[in-house]
Homo-oligomer: A and B are copies of this chain.
Amino acid sequence: MVYEPLNPSFAEEIRRSFARQTIMALIGAELTRVDPGLIEITLPYRTDLTQQHGYLHAGVVTTIADSACGYAAYSLMPAGTEVLSVEFKINLLRPAKGERFLARAEVIKPGRMLTVVRADVFGISEGKERELVATMQGTMICLRP
């Protein structure tokens, strides 16, 4: 889908907001794509981000998917607003293996107040096809001052 952003400086504001999400620095996540209605966040695997079997913890998978969803929604919101997650649901499709992970979020239905977003999280390893490890469907809210 092609969306027309309402806020001409959406990309800068998303980068600025992402930089204030301190958890992103803690886990080593980076904002790697910012387009209207489409956000990508990349996270290299680290041994201190895992569950009991050494795979990326579902909560970390969710953390990058949720931020990607939030900013995908935010990219279509007017200037001067804020975004918060209302709810999301995630299916963990495979063990989260990979050298790095990519969360890609796309807006399904923008709204004045509520925006519905989907995110896929892929595991990526050199010389291998990317694998879909999780898929999220969520609702984001636009807060006006």
User: Which A residues fall within an 8 A CB radius of B?
Assistant: 17-18, 20-23, 25-27, 47-53, 57-60, 62-64, 66-67, 70, 82, 84-95, 108-109, 113-114, 116, 118, 132, 135, 137, 139, 141
Interface of A: prevailing SS: mixed
Copies in the complex: 4
A113 contact set on B, CB distance < 8 A: 113
- Chain B min CB distance to A123 (Å): 13
A59 contact set on B, CB distance < 8 A: 23, 59-60, 62-64, 66-67
- Complex Cα gap A25–B91 (Å): 25
Q: What residue in chain B is nearest A74 (Cβ atoms)?
A: B52
